[in-house]
Structure 1
Amino acid sequence: MNTQAPGPKRPPVPAPRRGPAPMAGPGRMFVGQGAVEKSADFAGSTRRLLVLLRPQRLALTAAGLLAVAAVGLNVTGPRLLGHATDLVFAGVFSRRLPAGQSKAEAVASLRASGHGTQADLLASLDVTPGRGMDFDAIGRVLLLVVVIYAAAGLCGVIQARLTNLAIQRVVSQLRTDTQRKISRLPIRYFDGQARGEVLSRVTNDIDNLGQSLQQSVSQLVVSVLTVVGVLSVMIWISWLLALVAVITVPVSVIVAARVGKLAQPQFVAQWRVTGRLNAHIEEMYTGHTLVRAFGRQEESARAFQEYNEQLYAASWRAQSLSGLMQPAMMFIGNINYVLVAVIGGLRVASGSLSIGDVQAFIQYSRQFSQPMSQVASMANLLQSGVASAERVFELLDTPEQEPDPVEPARPEQPRGLVAFEHVGFRYQPDKPLIEDLSLVAEPGHTIAIVGPTGAGKTTLINLLMRFYDVTSGRITLDGVDIAAMSRDELRAQIGMVLQDTWLFGGTIAENIAYGAEGATREQIIEAARAAHVDRFVRTLPAGYDTVLDDEGTGVSGGEKQLITIARAFLVEPLILVLDEATSSVDTRTEVLIQHAMSRLRAGRTAFVIAHRLSTIRDADTILVMEDGAIVEQGDHRTLVDAGGAYARLYQAQFAQAVAEI
Structure 2
Amino acid sequence: MRRLSKTDANLNNDRVQGMRVLRRAVPYLWPDGQAWVKRRVVIALTVLLAAKLIAVVTPIFYKQAVDALSPDGSPATFLALGAVGLTLAYGMARLMEVGFNQLRDAIFAKVGQRALRRLAIETFTHIHRLSMRYHITRKTGGLSRIMERGVKGVEFLLRFLVFNMGPLMLQLLMIAGMLMYLFDIRYVAVVVLTIGLYIAFTFRVTEWRVKIRKKMNEQDTDANQKAIDSLLNFETVKYFGAEKWEADRYDGAMTQYEKAAIKTSYSLAFLNFGQSVLITSGLVAVMVMAAMEVQSGVLTVGDFVMVNAYMIQITMPLNFLGSVYREIRQALIDMGDMFDLLDQPSEVTDKPDATELVVNGGAVSLNAVEFAYDAERPILKGVSIDVAAGETVAIVGSSGSGKSTIGRLLFRFYDVTGGALTIDGQDVRDVTLDSLHAAIGVVPQDTVLFNDTIRYNIAYGRPEASEAEIVEAAKAAQIHDFVLSLPKGYDTQVGERGLKLSGGEKQRVGIARTILKNPPILLLDEATSALDTETERGIQTQLRAMGQGRTVITIAHRLSTIADADRIVVLEDGHIVEQGRHDALLAQSGRYAQLWQKQASEDAA
Tell me which interval the TM-score lies in, with the shorter structure as reference length: 0.7 to 0.9
Give the 5 Å matches for 1:44-55. 44-55=20-31
The 1:464/1:323 distance shift into structure 2, 3 A limit, reads farther
What is the distance in 2 between the residues matched to 1:312 and 1:216?
A: 30
The 1:181/1:410 distance shift into structure 2, 3 A limit, reads closer
Q: Which residue of 2 aligns with 1:580?
A: 526
The 1:531/1:351 distance shift into structure 2, 3 A limit, reads closer
Shifted more, 626-635 versus 319-328: the winner is: 319-328
Shifted more, 241-250 versus 546-555: the winner is: 546-555
Q: Which residue of 1 aligns with 2:99?
A: 154
Q: Judge conservation of contact 2:142–2:221 (CA < 8 Å) in 1.
A: yes
Query: Which has more radius of gyration?
Result: 1
Q: Does 1:486 align with 2:426?
A: no
Q: Does 1:651 align with 2:597?
A: yes
Q: Which residue of 2 aligns with 1:418?
A: 364
What is the distance in 2 between the residues matched to 1:127 and 1:504?
A: 76
Q: Which residue of 1 aligns with 2:17?
A: 41
The 1:378/1:520 distance shift into structure 2, 3 A limit, reads closer
Q: Which residue of 2 aligns with 1:434?
A: 380
The 1:234/1:306 distance shift into structure 2, 3 A limit, reads same
Please report the TM-score for the alignment, with normalisation by the length of structure 2.
0.88
Q: Judge conservation of contact 1:437–1:629 (CA < 8 Å) in 2.
A: yes
Q: Judge conservation of contact 1:561–1:584 (CA < 8 Å) in 2.
A: no
Q: Does 1:137 align with 2:118?
A: no
Give the 5 Å matches for 1:31-430. 39-55=15-31, 56-91=37-72, 137-207=82-152, 209-211=154-156, 213-215=158-160, 217-239=162-184, 240-267=186-213, 271=217, 273-317=219-263, 320-321=266-267, 324-409=270-355, 414-430=360-376
Q: CA deviation at 1:402?
A: 3.8
Q: Which residue of 1 aligns with 2:564?
A: 618
What is the distance in 2 between the residues matched to 1:409 and 1:72?
A: 59
Q: Which runs of 5+ in 2 are unaligned?
A: 1-5, 32-36
What is the distance in 2 between the residues matched to 1:508 and 1:81?
A: 68
Q: CA deviation at 1:520?
A: 4.5
Q: Does 1:536 align with 2:517?
A: no
Query: What whole-Å deviation, never above 9, does each CA across 1:566-605 have from its counterpart, x for those lacking one?
Result: 3333333222111222234443443344344334333422
Q: Which residue of 1 aligns with 2:3?
A: none
The 1:591/1:336 distance shift into structure 2, 3 A limit, reads closer
What is the distance in 2 between the residues matched to 1:638 and 1:319?
A: 75
Q: CA deviation at 1:316?
A: 4.7
Q: CA deviation at 1:367?
A: 2.0
Q: Does 1:564 align with 2:540?
A: no
Q: Judge conservation of contact 1:37–1:268 (CA < 8 Å) in 2.
A: no
What is the distance in 2 between the residues matched to 1:652 and 1:626?
A: 16
What is the distance in 2 between the residues matched to 1:654 and 1:44?
A: 63
The 1:317/1:49 distance shift into structure 2, 3 A limit, reads farther
What is the distance in 1 between the residues matched to 2:478 and 2:114?
A: 49
**Paired residue secondary structure (2:181):** helix
Q: CA deviation at 1:231?
A: 0.9
Please report the TM-score for the alignment, with normalisation by the length of structure 1.
0.81
Query: What whole-Å deviation, never above 9, does each CA across 1:361-392 have from its counterpart, x for those lacking one?
Result: 23222322332222112213313322322232
The 1:524/1:251 distance shift into structure 2, 3 A limit, reads closer
What is the distance in 2 between the residues matched to 1:548 and 1:286?
A: 15
Q: CA deviation at 1:460?
A: 0.9
Query: What whole-Å deviation, never above 9, does each CA across 1:314-343 have from its counterpart, x for those lacking one?
Result: 555555545544432321121112222332
RCO comparison, higher one (Cα < 8 Å, 6+): 1
What is the distance in 2 between the residues matched to 1:337 and 1:300?
A: 54
The 1:521/1:358 distance shift into structure 2, 3 A limit, reads closer
The 1:127/1:259 distance shift into structure 2, 3 A limit, reads same
Q: CA RMSD in A?
A: 3.1
Q: Which residue of 1 aligns with 2:34?
A: none
Q: CA deviation at 1:503?
A: 2.1
The 1:28/1:168 distance shift into structure 2, 3 A limit, reads closer
Q: Which residue of 2 aligns with 1:458?
A: 404
User: Residue 399 of structure 1 aligns to which amino acid in structure 2?
Assistant: P
What is the distance in 2 between the residues matched to 1:305 and 1:360?
A: 55
Give the 5 Å matches for 1:518-533. 518-533=464-479
Q: Judge conservation of contact 1:548–1:554 (CA < 8 Å) in 2.
A: yes
Q: Judge conservation of contact 2:348–2:414 (CA < 8 Å) in 1.
A: no
The 1:145/1:531 distance shift into structure 2, 3 A limit, reads closer
Q: Judge conservation of contact 1:448–1:616 (CA < 8 Å) in 2.
A: yes
What is the distance in 2 between the residues matched to 1:443 and 1:417?
A: 4
Shifted more, 337-346 versus 467-476: the winner is: 337-346
Q: CA deviation at 1:200?
A: 2.5
Q: CA deviation at 1:469?
A: 1.2
User: Residue 232 of structure 1 aligns to which amino acid in structure 2?
Assistant: G
Q: Judge conservation of contact 2:458–2:516 (CA < 8 Å) in 1.
A: yes
Q: Judge conservation of contact 1:164–1:214 (CA < 8 Å) in 2.
A: no
The 1:570/1:51 distance shift into structure 2, 3 A limit, reads closer
The 1:313/1:83 distance shift into structure 2, 3 A limit, reads same
What is the distance in 2 between the residues matched to 1:89 and 1:544?
A: 80
Query: What whole-Å deviation, never above 9, does each CA across 1:295-324 have from its counterpart, x for those lacking one?
Result: 333442343234334444555555554554
Shifted more, 354-363 versus 372-381: the winner is: 354-363
The 1:293/1:550 distance shift into structure 2, 3 A limit, reads closer
The 1:322/1:53 distance shift into structure 2, 3 A limit, reads farther
**Paired residue secondary structure (1:235):** helix
Q: Which runs of 5+ in 1 are unaligned?
A: 1-26, 30-35, 93-125, 129-134
What is the distance in 2 between the residues matched to 1:334 and 1:413?
A: 78
Q: Does 1:467 align with 2:413?
A: yes
Identity %: 30
What is the distance in 1 between the residues matched to 2:98 and 2:487?
A: 61
What is the distance in 2 between the residues matched to 1:519 and 1:354?
A: 81
What is the distance in 2 between the residues matched to 1:244 and 1:413?
A: 79
Q: Judge conservation of contact 1:45–1:390 (CA < 8 Å) in 2.
A: yes
The 1:359/1:38 distance shift into structure 2, 3 A limit, reads farther
Shifted more, 233-242 versus 159-168: the winner is: 159-168
User: Residue 162 of structure 1 aligns to which amino acid in structure 2?
Assistant: I
- How many aligned residue pairs are there? 588
The 1:37/1:310 distance shift into structure 2, 3 A limit, reads farther
What is the distance in 1 between the residues matched to 2:182 and 2:270?
A: 33
Query: What whole-Å deviation, never above 9, does each CA across 1:550-569 have from its counterpart, x for those lacking one?
Result: 43354321121122223333
Q: Judge conservation of contact 1:416–1:444 (CA < 8 Å) in 2.
A: yes
Q: CA deviation at 1:479?
A: 1.1
Q: CA deviation at 1:64?
A: 2.4
